[in-house]
A and B are shown apart, each in its own frame.
Chain A
Amino acid sequence: MPVDPYVVPAVDGVAYGLLVFVAASGLVLCFGVAGILNLAHGTLFAIGGYTAAALLDGGWASLALALAVGVLAATAAGALVAVLLTRVAAAGHLTQALVTFGVALAGGSLLVAAFGPDDPPVRVPAALDGSVAVAGHRYAAYRLVFILVAAVLAGLLHLVVRRTRAGMLVRAAVDDAEMVATLGVSPAVVRFGVLAAAGALAGAAGVLGAPIIGPGPGTADAVLLLSLVVVVLGGLGSMTGTLLAALAVGQIQTLGVALVPSAAPFLLFAAMAVVLAVRARGLATARRAT
């Protein structure tokens, strides 16, 4: 089988996978630290995407502005979710699901009211609007640069979680929230910070990824689904696992569709079933070992 026609989808898959990783990492943080399933996560991504569509005009300055505005807006939305959740913190996860879904529904409606019901076009900086030659193929320059930027973001995230004091507090809160509280750090503050940081990550992914997964009324749902699948596949809380799962999902969505178009609808489902069937025992023992 000639490899040649599949180079472009494979590189596309890497870009797609890294984008999904940056979007999903916020969900992993929320879920891992606070035990919160944030159903509004896709909406936070859409905020970034709409900001990019509204502000980008082909120049570098507009990209920086869109990134700043998009990240700020999504962080604020994440903080709003955190505030709403703090008031029902004692209630169960069903209530949390209701609150976060309510935010997703209202937020999506506000976004459509503000930006219209169509998918707005996104203009990338003019310098990146062309294509470059990769191994004899023409390939969109923006996506190549995005791969680099997203890889840097993933590395930074790893460093922050592993090496900084804030990251250590977050990891400590995962392992034993009460012990962190006795050290004088309120777990509520940690939770608030994590939800806001997750919003910032989703906003950054939304702005930078707008040329790949564009903003539109269906974006929030699509991103939430992809993030969920990636988080579940990645082992529910492990950053490394999430990265691997995101890259695999990226390949399934691009290379898999190019290789076996007829089976395309089933690929994501099948991958999830296979990985979970193999891993189910491991997940279960990890949970029971407490």
Chain B
Amino acid sequence: MRDRAVRALRVAVAVAVLVGLVAAPWTVDDYTVALLARTLALGLVAVSVALLTGVAGLPTLGQTAPYAAGAYAGAVVGGQLSDVGPVHLLVAAGAGAALAVVALPLVLPARGVVLLMITLAVGELAVVLAGRWTSVTGGTDGLAGIAATRPLWGLPVLATDRARYLYTLVAVAALTGLVLLVLRGRVGLLLRAGRDDEARLRASGHRVAAHVAGVHVAAGAIAGAAGSLLVTAQQYVSPADFGFDTSALLLLGVVVGGTASVGGALVGAVLVVAARDWLFGALPGQAPLVLGLAFVVVAHLLPTARRTRRAGRGGSATPRPSEVRRPPAVTGVRA
């Protein structure tokens, strides 16, 4: 009963948010539109987080690393190649995927909390790197004065906040649609099967390691593309865009949206980030405190987190005692 109510509420909220996103450029002021464009880029990163965490069962806190790589690559390399948006997107996606490939040896053998830990370390190190590699990234001052991009060859540059927002919206919609389309087929089935029962999938002859590697690289490419959209939207990039709190906000958005739902993650992240931006305006001093309490409250209220865990344990209807808490030895831990 409660589940059905939550699902109905989710659908209603999702429709309202999507309608609001499309109508926004004509209904709210330029400043809000600029904020929303940045929020949409974060929503696309949330899509990559949901792809890994919800669909493939690989929890991650480190998608800010390919996001940052994409943003800087799109701004530095893309800016020198051409001023056309899709070129920047491709370069940024390539950079995100390359970073994911570099991180593969670290993430491939890990699952569960170990993976959360390793991805968090990778993400944080990437931000530290962005802050210190001043010759390329401009350090903590960031890269300012990034040239405006063209949405396609031959079109005028994106000069207004509304134009940049619409470009971001179209790109995010296209990429999210692509992910949803791919997940409808065999790929989606294989990823979900790997999440639900990895040993069984491996026993029936599937190369699970290759699936895991593939989904990591794909998620890295999506997050990288989102980085390019961020640069296009705010024409400025600094390590503050990729901090630890960004990863945590994304995770909250993904959980709010229903962990296994890619579209829900987009809506959830947009809601959470918009609420954050609104809070910082409404309660300048107390925003982190309120946000922190919101994290704790949401974690206690949402039924999703509990459901997905049980679903992720092989789908048995009655959880055995051993399933309530994963035996620690699975994580390879020795005190």
Which A residues are within 8 Å of any B CB, using their own CB? Answer: 28-29, 31-33, 35-37, 39, 84, 87-99, 101-110, 113, 161, 170-171, 173-178, 187, 221, 224-225, 228-229, 231-232, 236-239, 264-266, 268-269, 272-273, 276-277, 280-281, 283-284, 286-287, 290
Check A105 against B291 for contact (C-beta < 8 Å): yes
Check A107 against B292 for contact (C-beta < 8 Å): yes
Check A109 against B328 for contact (C-beta < 8 Å): no
In the complex, A164→B177 CA distance in Å? 58
B108-135 residues with Cβ-Cβ distance < 8 A to A are 108-114, 116-118, 120-121, 124-126, 128-129, 132-133
The 10 A-B residue pairs with the shortest CB-CB distance, nearest first, are A102-B295, A106-B292, A105-B292, A284-B109, A237-B333, A265-B132, A92-B309, A287-B332, A109-B288, A286-B332
Q: Which of B118, B128, B285, B335 contacts A174 (CB 8 A)?
A: B335
A-B contact pairs, 8 of them (CB 8 A): A33-B335, A97-B251, A103-B296, A109-B292, A221-B243, A225-B125, A287-B111, A290-B327
B284-335 residues with Cβ-Cβ distance < 8 A to A are 285-289, 291-296, 298-300, 302, 305-306, 308-309, 312, 321-322, 324-335
The majority secondary structure among interface residues of chain A is helix
CB distance from A233 to the nearest CB of B (A): 9
Q: Which residue of B lies closest to A187 (CB)?
A: B325
Question: Cβ of A97: which chain B residues have Cβ within 8 Å of it?
Answer: 59, 61, 116, 248, 251
Given contacts A33-B328, A109-B288, A225-B128, contact A272 B121 (CB under 8 A): yes
In the complex, A33→B325 CA distance in Å? 12
In the complex, A171→B328 CA distance in Å? 11
Check B121 against A232 for contact (C-beta < 8 Å): yes
Question: Cβ of B245: which chain A residues have Cβ within 8 Å of it?
Answer: 105
Check B333 against A31 for contact (C-beta < 8 Å): yes
Check A236 against B299 for contact (C-beta < 8 Å): no
Check A93 against B59 for contact (C-beta < 8 Å): yes
Check A174 against B59 for contact (C-beta < 8 Å): no
Q: Which residue of B lies closest to A29 (CB)?
A: B335
Question: Cβ of B236: which chain A residues have Cβ within 8 Å of it?
Answer: none
Q: Which residue of A lies closest to B249 (CB)?
A: A101
Q: Is B185 an interface residue (CB 8 A)?
A: no
In the complex, A108→B42 CA distance in Å? 24
Q: Which of B105, B321, B333 contacts A32 (CB 8 A)?
A: B333
Given contacts A103-B292, A268-B128, contact A37 B116 (CB under 8 A): yes
Q: Is B228 an interface residue (CB 8 A)?
A: no
Q: Which residue of A lies closest to B53 (CB)?
A: A94
Question: Cβ of B114: which chain A residues have Cβ within 8 Å of it?
Answer: 236, 287
In the complex, A29→B335 CA distance in Å? 7
In the complex, A98→B252 CA distance in Å? 7
Check A109 against B113 for contact (C-beta < 8 Å): no
Check A170 against B106 for contact (C-beta < 8 Å): no
Check A268 against B125 for contact (C-beta < 8 Å): yes
Question: Cβ of B306: which chain A residues have Cβ within 8 Å of it?
Answer: 90-92, 95
Check B324 against A90 for contact (C-beta < 8 Å): yes
In the complex, A178→B320 CA distance in Å? 12
20 additional contacts, CB 8 Å, given A102-B292, A113-B289, A228-B124? A31-B113, A35-B326, A88-B305, A90-B306, A90-B309, A94-B53, A97-B61, A98-B252, A105-B288, A110-B289, A171-B335, A177-B325, A224-B124, A232-B117, A237-B331, A237-B334, A276-B106, A276-B118, A287-B109, A287-B110
